Amino acid sequence: MSELRTVTLGMLGCGTVGQNVLHLLQRREAIFADLGVRLEVAGVLVRDLTRPRDVPEGISLTNDPRFLNRCGLVIEVMGGVDRPLELLLPILQSDRPVVTANKALLAERWDVLREHALDGRLYYESAVMAGTPIIGPMSTVLRASGFVGLQAVLNGTCSYILSQMEQGKPYQAALSEAQALGYAEDPPTLDVGGFDTAHKLAVLARFCADGHFPYSAVSVTGIEQVTLEDIAQARAEGQKIRLVATLERQGDTWKARVAPTRLPLDHPICTVGDGRNAMVYEGEECGTLVFAGGGAGGMVTASAIVGDIMDSVLGFPGHVPLH
Ligand SMILES: NC(=O)c1ccc[n+]([C@@H]2O[C@H](COP(=O)([O-])OP(=O)(O)OC[C@H]3O[C@@H](n4cnc5c(N)ncnc54)[C@H](OP(=O)(O)O)[C@@H]3O)[C@@H](O)[C@H]2O)c1
């Protein structure tokens, strides 16, 4: 057997997603060996070294990012915008690949990241719809078809709250329940205010509408003002309310909108089930495509991240937006 090439990894963050990435990398060791690679984790950056974590034996946790200098590939699963950017820029600027699940970073700092994405150094399948592959097809095969528009539900927390309201729970009670179950952050503004969905829509728009699409161009209305009366009225007309991301042509430009939207009960977004994300993608030649699957969760997200790492070690470029 020929000798394996060692790829030295570094990871930023070791929370819900990061811990699962480490376990999945270990579980897929044989596949990486088939690809001719042995992975070595040089370090994992965290804030609180005393926090108990479920990580494979031998993983070195640290709050000192200097280990990044030794890494050939960096995985970012810490969240936030400014700090991850500060840590990742030297990696990207020295031509090293980065795998990230961070849609807020991608949406809000595209001015800096775009050139690296165009050069194929940035992998981010997990940033939208987590383990459900949508960025891969949108950055490759779907380019052959003229883009007409898309509609998607991209935030499971909002779907959960709205489905609880359909059972008669007022908004505040449904939100508190989502928080108690760990579905919604505290404060929950990113989710219920629609901003998480808007981050994801901005990321998608750069593959099919405009490679420069700015996050600030997404119009955002959250679900905070949806009432039980709205839900009852929709139901009386055979509809459900969901937080829907829409991208469609308006004259010569593209309009991106996130807003509570009524959908017929037999709409593909409604029929996939509330625990799932879903997207209806319309292309001139490919027709109507429906993508659906888990849009959150540690291992679901880790599956896309580890897939990105496989692509990178195989020499496939990252996710290249429109020029
Ligand atoms: N959770 C999901 O289902 C999901 C799905 C798709 C994408 N994502 C994205 O994946 C990323 C991570 O999500 P998560 O749910 O795993 O978050 P999380 O559980 O909150 O974990 C974040 C990790 O990053 C570390 N961290 C945060 N700020 C840091 C800093 N300034 N310096 C050093 N370490 C820092 C934390 O350290 P401590 O543990 O020491 O606090 C923690 O280990 C986010 O960008 C999120 O949007 C998550």
Q: How far is the CA of 124 from the centre of ligand 1 (A)?
A: 15
Q: Cα–Cα distances in Å, from 58 out to 19, 22, 41?
A: 13, 11, 9
Q: Cα–Cα distance between 16 and 302 in angstroms, integer?
A: 9
80-98 pLDDT per residue, tens: 999 999 999 999 999 999 9
Ligand 1 residue neighbourhood (C-beta within 6 Å): 13-18, 45-48, 51, 77-80, 83, 101-103, 126, 130, 296-297, 301
CA dist., res. 207 & res. 150, Å (int): 12
Catalytic one of 103, 169, 200, 255: 200
CATH of 5-131+298-314, one of 1.10.150.120, 3.40.50.720, 3.40.50.300, 1.20.58.220: 3.40.50.720
* Residues of the chain above pLDDT 70, percent: 100
Contact status, residue 206 vs residue 319, Cβ threshold 8 Å: no
Nearest atom, ligand 1, residue 19 CA: 16
Pair 243, 222: CB distance under 8 Å: yes
Q: Dihedrals φ, ψ of 200, to 5°?
A: -65, -40
Query: Distance, CA 42 to ligand 1 centroid (Å)?
Result: 19
The ranges of the chain annotated as CATH 3.40.50.720 are 5-131+298-314
Q: What pLDDT digit, counting tens, does each position of 151-208 carry?
A: 999 999 999 999 999 999 999 999 999 999 888 877 899 999 999 999 999 999 999 9
* Integer Cα distance of 167 and 156 in angstroms: 17
CA of 301 to the centre of ligand 1 (A): 12
Active site residue 255: no
CA of 78 to the centre of ligand 1 (A): 3
Furthest CA-CA distance within the chain: 67
pLDDT on residue 272: 87
Q: Enumerate the CATH 3.30.360.10 domain ranges in the chain, comma separated.
A: 138-294
Structure tokens at 11: 């990871």
Q: Which atom of ligand 1 is nearest to the CA of 127?
A: 7
- Write the secondary structure of the chain as one string of H (helix), E (strand) and C (coil): CCCCEEEEEEEECCCHHHHHHHHHHHHCHHHHHHCCEEEEEEEEECCCCCCCCCCCCCCCEECCHHHHHHCCEEEECCCCCHHHHHHHHHHHHCCCCEEECCHHHHHHCHHHHHHHHHCCCEECHHHCCCCCCCHHHHHCHHHHCCEEEEEEECCHHHHHHHHHHHCCCCHHHHHHHHHHCCCCCCCCHHHHCCHHHHHHHHHHHHHHCCCCCCHHHEEECCCCCCCHHHHHHHHHCCEEEEEEEEEEEECCEEEEEEEEEEEECCCHHHHCCCCEEEEEEEECCCEEEEEEEECCCHHHHHHHHHHHHHHHHHCCCCCCCCC
The single residue listed with the structure tokens 């409604």 is: 270
Q: Taking the model in full, what pTM does it have?
A: 0.98
When the candidates are 3.40.50.2000, 3.10.20.600, 3.30.360.10, 3.90.1150.10, the CATH number that belongs to 138-294 is: 3.30.360.10
Question: How buried is residue 188: exposed, middle or buried, by Cβ count under 10 Å (0-12/13-18/19+)?
Answer: buried
Q: Whose CA is nearest to atom 18 of ligand 1?
A: 15
Q: How far apart are CA 65 and CA 243, in angstroms?
A: 38
Whether the per-residue pLDDT at 2 is higher than 80: the answer is: no
Contact (Cβ atoms closer than 8 angstroms) between residue 61 and residue 49 = yes
**pLDDT on residue 1:** 60
pLDDT at 182: 87
Q: Each residue of 43-71: pLDDT tens digit?
A: 999 999 999 999 999 999 999 999 999 99
Q: Using CA atoms, how far apart are residues 296 and 67, in angstroms rounded to an integer?
A: 29
Token pair for 78: 């810490």
